[in-house]
Amino acid sequence: MDIQPSKLEITAEGRLRIVWSDGQVREYSVGELRDACPCATCREKRSAPPPPSTALPILSAAEAAPLRIAAMNPVGRYAYGIEFSDGHDTGIFTLDSLREMGEEVAPARKE
C-alpha cells in the first residue's frame, strides 16, 4: 500500500487525526485505538471470559486518568507503534488497520 500518513495530530478534543497522502482525513478516539490494540497481551485479554459481575474493577490512577496518546513512532513504512499514557506501548498498528478504524471527517479547507 502506497498511501501514507502525511500528517498526524491530536485534536483539541484529544482525538488522533491522521491526514493521509490521498487526502483522506480520519479521526480516532484514543479509547478505540487502545481497545483495538493488536499486541499479544491485549488480544489475549479480549478473548478471556469477562470477570464475574460481582467483581468491581479497581482502576489504578493511571487507568482512571483520561487516556492520551503519549507518542507515535513509525515502524518501517507500514505501521505505527502507539504509546499510550497508561504506559502501554507494545501495540503496532498497521497502516491498513488504521485506514479501517476511526471515522472519516471532512478535510480541513485549504486557505
User: Would you say 92 and 75 are in contact if contact means Cβ atoms under 8 Å apart?
Assistant: yes
- Which grid coordinates are listed for 23? 487526502
Residue 104 Cβ vs Zn ion, minimum distance, rounded to whole Å: 25
Encoded one letter per residue, x for contact with Zn ion by CB under 5 A and - for no contact, window 30-49 reads: -------x-x--x-------
Q: Which is nearer to Zn ion, 91 or 102 (CB)?
A: 91
**Positive or negative: CA dihedral 65, 88, 68, 43:** negative
Residue 109 Cβ vs Zn ion, minimum distance, rounded to whole Å: 36
User: Would you say 3 and 21 are in contact if contact means Cβ atoms under 8 Å apart?
Assistant: yes
Contact region with Zn ion (CB under 5 A), list: 23-31, 66-74, 87-95, 102-110? 87-95
Neighbours of 31 (CB within 10 A): 12
Q: Which is nearer to Zn ion, 82 or 95 (CB)?
A: 82
- Which grid coordinates are listed for 71? 507518542
Asked whether position 92 contacts Zn ion by CB under 5 A, the answer is no
Q: Which residues contact Zn ion by CB under 5 A?
A: 37, 39, 42, 91
